[in-house]
Amino acid sequence: MIEYIKGNITELSPASVVIDCNGLGYFANISLNTYSAIQNLSSVKLYIYEAIREDAYVLYGFADKHERELFMLLISVSGIGGNTARMILSALSPSELANVISTENANVLKTVKGIGLKTAQRVIIDLKDKIKITTGSSLTGAISQNSEVHDEAVAALTMLGFNTAASQKVVFAILKEEPLAKVEQVIKLALKRL
């Protein structure tokens, strides 16, 4: 098993990276979160997940171990393959994904390309208990306090015509900065950012 690859970035796109490791170029698929983390670097250390199948040998690279753990949890769900898991991790940051799963918000998962309602519900059912363990109790406590404010704010922004996924991201960021904010405050701040 390859744990990580450390070397110089020779090619980089939002979906993939080629890392030169002592003259050997490794091609790895990456999420947008990892792309954002490494885009201004010349050398990098990526944590790797190897998908070895009959017809292909594919590497997935992650900027940190937490994102790789979430990827491995996602592909453990029936019907979620490597590319779909990478798509989910491109649409939502690891903390946002943990929030969506722990608050059972299937509507946000449904906005990810290739994820229908049944698949979103399956992800939530299969990973709800596992996500709590990997994210830690402090995050889960904050999430459960904020979930009602979060859901109301996202619903209001969606009714105002804003994209659900974008509203979810902005509201989550605001509640991370100001965990005790009221719904009205969150909506006002979100309107400035959207």
CB-based contact 12:38 (threshold 8 Å): yes
User: Cα separations (Å) of 159 from 57, 71, 155, 162, 187?
Assistant: 45, 32, 6, 7, 12
72 and 125 in a common domain: yes
Of 27, 43, 63, which marks where a domain is finished? 63
Q: Whole domain around residue 165: which residue ranges?
A: 136-194
The pLDDT value given to residue 146 = 62
pLDDT at 142: 45
Indicate if 80 and 101 belong to the same structural domain.
Answer: yes
Q: For position 93, what pLDDT does the model report? A: 85
CATH number reported for the structural domain that contains residue 145 in this entry: 1.10.8.10
69-78 confidence digits (pLDDT tens): 999 999 999 9
Question: Among residues 135, 157, 176, which one ends one of the domains?
Answer: 135
**Residues of the chain whose pLDDT is less than 50?**
133-145
Domains contained in the chain, number: 3
Residue where one domain finishes, among candidates 135, 152, 186: 135
CA atoms within 13 A on the CB side of 101: 30
Confidence at residue 137, expressed as pLDDT on a 0 to 100 scale = 40
Half-sphere exposure at residue 113, Cβ-oriented, CA atoms within 13 angstroms: 5
- Give the pLDDT of residue 132: 59
Parallel/antiparallel/unpaired status of strands 57-62 and 16-21: unpaired
Phi, psi of 104, rounded to the nearest 5 degrees: 55, 45
What's residue 181's pLDDT?
A: 81
CATH of the domain at 82: 1.10.150.20
What is the rounded distance in angstroms from the CA atom of residue 57 to the CA atom of residue 136?
A: 33
Q: One-letter amino acid identity for 137?
A: S
Residue burial 75-88, b: 16+ Cβ < 10 Å; e: rest: bebeebebebbbbb
